[in-house]
Amino acid sequence: GIQVEQSPPDLILQEGANSTLRCNFSDSVNNLQWFHQNPWGQLINLFYIPSGTKQNGRLSATTVATERYSLLYISSSQTTDSGVYFCAVELKDSSYKLIFGSGTRLLVRP
């Protein structure tokens, strides 16, 4: 089956720092989504990004589908950015399920 690998697995930042999270996937996909799971467990959709670049405030994401990776940029990090970031991909096999990576755990210190 498809492999979805995220790096780094853990990241500690000082408030105000920037970071880049990576998601590699092993097969062609229909779309890719990024999620943030806050410390209370709620999963929030950040980006629906099958290709190209999108920005939302301090966050932006880029997916290069032909090279099978996506990047999530967090600028000027805040303590509220802490949590786990997941990427999830939808396979190109007419199946609409999203396969999740194992996540990047981010801790932003004040």
Partner 1 sequence: DTGVSQNPRHKITKRGQNVTFRCDPISEHNRLYWYRQTLGQGPEFLTYFQNEAQLEKSRLLSDRFSAERPKGSFSTLEIQRTEQGDSAMYLCASSYFNSPLHFGNGTRLTVT
Nearest distance, CB of residue 16 and partner 1, angstroms: 28
Contact residues for 57 (Cβ-Cβ < 8 A; gap 6+) = none
Cβ closer to partner 1: 38 or 78? 38
Nearest distance, CB of residue 25 and partner 1, angstroms: 13
Give the start-end residues of each E strand in 26-100.
Answer: 29-37, 43-48, 52-56, 59-64, 69-74, 83-91, 98-100
- 7 makes contact with partner 1 (CB under 8 A): no
Q: Of these, 21, 29, 32, 35, which contacts partner 1 (CB under 8 A)? A: 35
